Structure 1
Amino acid sequence: MSDGKDDLPIDEQRPLRRESRALLGSLLAPYKRLVAVLLVAVVVENIARLSVPRLVQVGIDHGVPPITRDGNAHDLLVVVGVLCAVVAVQAISRWFFLRQSGRIGQLALLELRRRVFRHFQRLDVSFHDKYTSGRVVSRSTNDVEAIQEMLENGFDSLITAVLTLLGTAILLVTLDVELGLICLISFPVLVALSIWFRNESSKTYREVRESAALVIVQFVETMTGIKAVQAYRREPRNQEIFEEVAERYRAINERTFRLIAIFMPAVKLVGNIMTGIVLLYGGWRVLHGHMTVGVLAAFLLYLRMFFEPMQDITQFFNTFQSASSALEKLAGVLATTPGIADPNEPKQLENVQGAVRFDDVRFGYVEDRPVLPGLDLEIPAGQTVALVGTTGAGKTTIAKLMARFYDPTSGRITLDGTDLRDVDQPQLRRHVVMVTQENFMFEGSVADNIRFGKPSATDAEVRAAAEAVGAHHFIEGLPDGYDTSVEKRGGRLSAGQRQLVAFARAFLADPAVLILDEATSSLDIPSERLVQRALETVLADRTALIIAHRLSTVEVADRVLVLEHGQVLEDGAPADLISADDGRYAALHRAWVSSLA
């Protein structure tokens, strides 16, 4: 199992890393000045923090002796006053940084979520057919949260750690050159440990993100298809698959803890050894008058501060690797160009009549396996055309091409003489609407789902649309009428009721071309009769393309096309084709009549 671009070779991952850095830069670009101010605040905070041990040294060496000698506490009080002022500056700087960095982080994440959602909506049907819903969820939740953690804690920890390391190293040497140089002997060991941990965690945390995505994918896919899972008794197999990916996720996370379990104790060991050396050698120097007690105390405080940032750097590596992997995935998605692209200078469709033409259209979902080997078809404006044929004949493919969910491999499809590829999609969607057998319902009221076809529609227009397709009666019978919640995926409605709502939605949209792809397949006989009566109203004064196995739906068509392997075998009025005893449609009609007996 793979998560898209996660398994790319290193040389192919580098462009993604550049894109991920560019993505992060673009998110923070609007706040460049404020980021610069925050950097100043961090520097001020750390200078204040680093000055505390030095003030302790001054207080011990210069403030305490006058008290023991003549009871004069003036110098010590001055040091304590300066110390209080420094602590106040540190607290204010910290407050300002946390407040503003949190604001910047949330605004950047809001923009990222907007971009990802907008881009997923722009990507074509072909992309979403391949990119599972679980991976979409992983990108927009798990990966965004990883970036959030880095923005909230990561950079702050890194900047503070770097400033502390550099500052304490300088101050250690400044306080006592000999003892300071002894302490810095440990620095190459710390650098070597950090490089090892960075390299190992880089590989491990990339696998952590991939495994986390697989867990989410498996969970979402199973829960989304829970009816099919239970109907076909797939629970044991799905449980087995989930446990496999969850175990992999656990094992990889355990590997990250093993890395930390080696790195952190090693840093602590080096730090404790150096503290022991400083305490022994420094104590010897104090006894012999080569160093003051205040300097030794300050030295030990700075030494502790010198090793503390290694834990922050460790945490930053963890956060950074996780966020980097997430950024690469998001950058990869955002860099994906829609297969159905809008033209740079779209043509405007005015007074659309609905004349459709397929001109030598070739198309296949898989290369070298054409579904349409070269279709020529002309549908005059206002004509209702029914497509019939065996499964795989190309009926739904024609509908998807007409709705421009896909573009033909060659040839062209025109609406009133204009190539669909020369029209932008918002304009095309206003004039061409497709009703499928899935009839997806969104959470909300029945009225909201009908209004989906025209968001600005009034209640009266929604009611009129429902009445036109015969949906008003059952809607009025619901507990809250048009305000009744359809619940998740329309679960409160029957399949037939969902399709009637979908018809009302399409009727309200009032397109020039209406495509019905098996749109009556789930209707019972009474509901089908209602729709049959409504279809004449719905299809009036517009071009219609009907795909149906139920020939009762085909009866409203002006023209029937019998398809086989993407070719039109028969073309004519339903009555004419039925009268041809040796024809394909006549045979289909006889079989259908027999099935009703």
Structure 2
Amino acid sequence: MNQTNSFSALVRLLRYARGYRRRIIAAATCSVINKLFDIAPEILIGVAIDVVVNQERSFVARLGFTTPQEQIIALGVLTFVIWAGESIFEYLYQVLWRNLAQRLQSDLRQDAYEHAQRLDMSFFESRSSGHLVATLNDDVNQLERFLDGGANAMIQVGVTVVAVGAVFFFISPLIALLAFTPIPLIIWGGFYFQRKAGPLYGEVRERVGEIASRLSNNLNGIATIKSFTAEAREAERLRQASEAYVEANRKAIRVSSAFIPVIRMAVLTGFLATFTIGGMQALSGDLNIGAYGVLVFLTQRLLWPLTGLAEVIDLFERAMASTRRILGLLEEPVQVADQGNPDLAQPVRGEVHFQQLAFQYPNSNSGIHGIDLKVPAGHTLALVGATGSGKSTLIKLLLRFQDPQSGQVLIDGQPVTAISLRSLRQAVGLVSQDVYLFEGSIRDNIAYGRPNASDEEIVSAARQAEAWAFIEALPQGLDTPVGERGVRLSGGQRQRLSLARALLKNPPILVLDEATSAVDNETEAAIQRSLRRIAHDRTVIMIAHRLSTIVHADQIAVIEQGRVAECGRHAELLARDGFYAAQWRVQTGMAREDDPIMA
């Protein structure tokens, strides 16, 4: 079963690499010719022995070289040509295979990454980033190592068996049968060890992913580790993951290492058969002395390279385990498809309609049920409710990070499923609670949505987001490095840059997903001032826990357990004395004992 899986992975890889067919054929051809040249010197040694022993009656004499001296000179010239040919084709196959390995691994990584970018958010929510990084990096490199040397070795072993076998059967069918007797055992042993090693190397690749995931999580959470003085505990966890990797490798190594001693004994059997039986025939005159020399030398050429099958199979199994993971990622279905849909009609006014939306997360009771909300263009909708009530789900559906099970989201009357993803997401600017800044300068991060924006436009967006004051005070201004994930900036500064990044994009629809929940009062006040200025000519959808930030919203929807519980303006909802009014009293210090608390 595992053997089948490995060859199935090879077939899938060849199917993927069909665009490289000419390069593969050229590299394989050079490998074949090189091996034929490599075998030839052993034949020439036997021919030289024949010349010395038989002289004018030698095989070479039949080709027109009458004297032994002429025969030796001819063999010398032929030896030079063969060695030169072997060297040339060794250079060619190494260049071709290595360049092919580099090109294929680069394209495979690029294709896998681009495909991963097209996958919907639920895929990333169910996979660890460490496993994905290990697949895109370590697994691709593992395949590269096989193509660098393993593919050539497999081809040359096959050529050796066929070419040497042909010479053997031409000289002595009896000795050929005896010399080839161990080959079925060697091949069976190769497949046996391959079948045993396959799942073990699959386990090794899993352990690699776990280590990468552990390292990624810990390095991203280093501040938390330090604050809880958990360095020793996390070091122990990494040690355990590393030991699991070592143990998985130990099992695979134990299996693959047993292959060579077993095959060595099989090789000895074939060599002894050629050595003894051939020697007896040469002594009795039934076999030419030169031919006997050829057979003895070629026996080693035939059998000893087969001991290299252990290393080749080791490389092959590692590569196929990695190939299954890489192609598995490439074959992951895209749930939210963008199939050449037309762009959103221009100009975009920004009307948003959540029409009878229903969405249920798999293996979970959370989701939304029959939500119907309409936001006129240029108006502000605020969404409030307990954590897990479904507020962020609406934003995911708006951006088509996921698609609803029923109902639809419309922008200016067009279903978002009927327009291109690029057009949809260009029309929406997202500022989330968890701000992600890329390593680079402040300028790079603000201009992320518009890389060609001028400095004047970047400064204008920074001013609108009330970020320019702190940027201008920095020694390097816009060229200040933010560090990985923006670690060199405060939370409030990162939030303002995130808002500036969205504003530079100048979207007709602006989404704020709890954008002020983790900032100080001064930053919140600054962001609120910015929002009041920029909300006049665009649609704004806000998710907020702090009700003080949404009192000016045109429409406030209270979401409870995936449904709209209340909807109206701030004053209207206070007058209803429902959930919203209760939360308002809690947050303004006038709570009653029976008021619920929004979690």
TM-score with structure 2 setting the length: 0.90
Q: Which amino acid aligns with 1:60?
A: I
1:26 corresponds to which residue? Answer: 16
Q: Kindly report which structure 2 residues correspond to 1:162-177, keeping only aligned pairs within 5 A, or say none.
A: 162-177=158-173
Q: Does 1:220 align with 2:231?
A: no
Q: Kindly report which structure 2 residues correspond to 1:5-404, keeping only aligned pairs within 5 A, or say none.
A: 21-27=11-17, 29-63=18-52, 73-232=69-228, 234-235=230-231, 238-346=234-342, 348-366=344-362, 369-404=365-400
Q: Kindly report which structure 2 residues correspond to 1:534-549, keeping only aligned pairs within 5 A, or say none.
A: 534-549=530-545
The 3 A distance-change label for structure 1 pair 143 and 287 is same
Q: Does 1:512 align with 2:508?
A: yes
CA distance in 1, matches of 2:295, 2:418: 74
Residue 194 of structure 1 and its aligned partner are, at CA, apart by 2.3
Q: Which amino acid aligns with 1:423?
A: I
Q: Secondary structure at the match of 1:520?
A: coil
Contact 1:389–1:395 (CA under 8 A) maintained in structure 2: yes
2:556 corresponds to which residue? Answer: 560
Superposed CA offset, 1:511-552 (max 9, x none)? 111110110122212222222221122322001011112233
Superposed CA offset, 1:408-452 (max 9, x none)? 221111111111111111000111122111110001100000001
Superposed CA offset, 1:46-67 (max 9, x none)? 2212211111111122157659
2:421 to 416, 425, 431: 425
CA distance in 1, matches of 2:435, 2:415: 28
Q: Which amino acid aligns with 2:519?
A: L
Shifted more, 284-293 versus 126-135: the winner is: 284-293
Q: Does 1:530 align with 2:526?
A: yes
CA distance in 2, matches of 1:89, 1:15: 38
1:469 corresponds to which residue? Answer: 465
1:588 to 583, 591, 596: 583
Shifted more, 280-289 versus 391-400: the winner is: 280-289
Shifted more, 532-541 versus 78-87: the winner is: 532-541
Figure out how many residues of one structure are paired with residues of the other and give that number. 583
Shifted more, 29-38 versus 326-335: the winner is: 29-38
Shifted more, 523-532 versus 564-573: the winner is: 564-573
The 3 A distance-change label for structure 1 pair 294 and 351 is same
CA distance in 1, matches of 2:142, 2:534: 49
Residue 567 of structure 1 and its aligned partner are, at CA, apart by 2.8
The 3 A distance-change label for structure 1 pair 370 and 203 is closer
1:437 corresponds to which residue? Answer: 433
Residue 183 of structure 1 and its aligned partner are, at CA, apart by 1.9
Shifted more, 549-558 versus 235-244: the winner is: 235-244
Shifted more, 228-237 versus 459-468: the winner is: 228-237
Q: Which runs of 5+ in 1 are unaligned?
A: 1-9
CA distance in 1, matches of 2:578, 2:198: 67
CA distance in 2, matches of 1:75, 1:192: 43
Q: Does 1:416 align with 2:412?
A: yes
1:5 corresponds to which residue? Answer: none
Contact 1:64–1:73 (CA under 8 A) maintained in structure 2: no
Q: Which runs of 5+ in 2 are unaligned?
A: 57-65, 592-599
Contact 1:63–1:79 (CA under 8 A) maintained in structure 2: no
Superposed CA offset, 1:126-179 (max 9, x none)? 111111101110110121112112222122111100111122222233333443
The 3 A distance-change label for structure 1 pair 18 and 382 is farther
Residue 491 of structure 1 and its aligned partner are, at CA, apart by 0.6
Q: Which amino acid aligns with 1:429?
A: R
CA distance in 1, matches of 2:26, 2:85: 15
The 3 A distance-change label for structure 1 pair 595 and 506 is farther
The 3 A distance-change label for structure 1 pair 371 and 184 is closer
CA distance in 2, matches of 1:60, 1:19: 48
TM-score with structure 1 setting the length: 0.91
Shifted more, 479-488 versus 295-304: the winner is: 295-304
Shifted more, 439-448 versus 527-536: the winner is: 527-536
Residue 207 of structure 1 and its aligned partner are, at CA, apart by 2.3
2:569 corresponds to which residue? Answer: 573
Superposed CA offset, 1:482-524 (max 9, x none)? 0111111101100100000000001011111111011012221
CA distance in 2, matches of 1:368, 1:219: 29
CA distance in 2, matches of 1:232, 1:193: 53
Q: Which amino acid aligns with 1:551?
A: L
Percent of aligned pairs sharing the same letter: 31
CA distance in 2, matches of 1:20, 1:49: 28
Q: Secondary structure at the match of 1:308?
A: helix
Contact 1:441–1:449 (CA under 8 A) maintained in structure 2: yes
Q: Secondary structure at the match of 2:258?
A: helix
1:501 corresponds to which residue? Answer: 497
The 3 A distance-change label for structure 1 pair 337 and 314 is same
Q: Does 1:484 align with 2:473?
A: no
Contact 1:387–1:560 (CA under 8 A) maintained in structure 2: yes
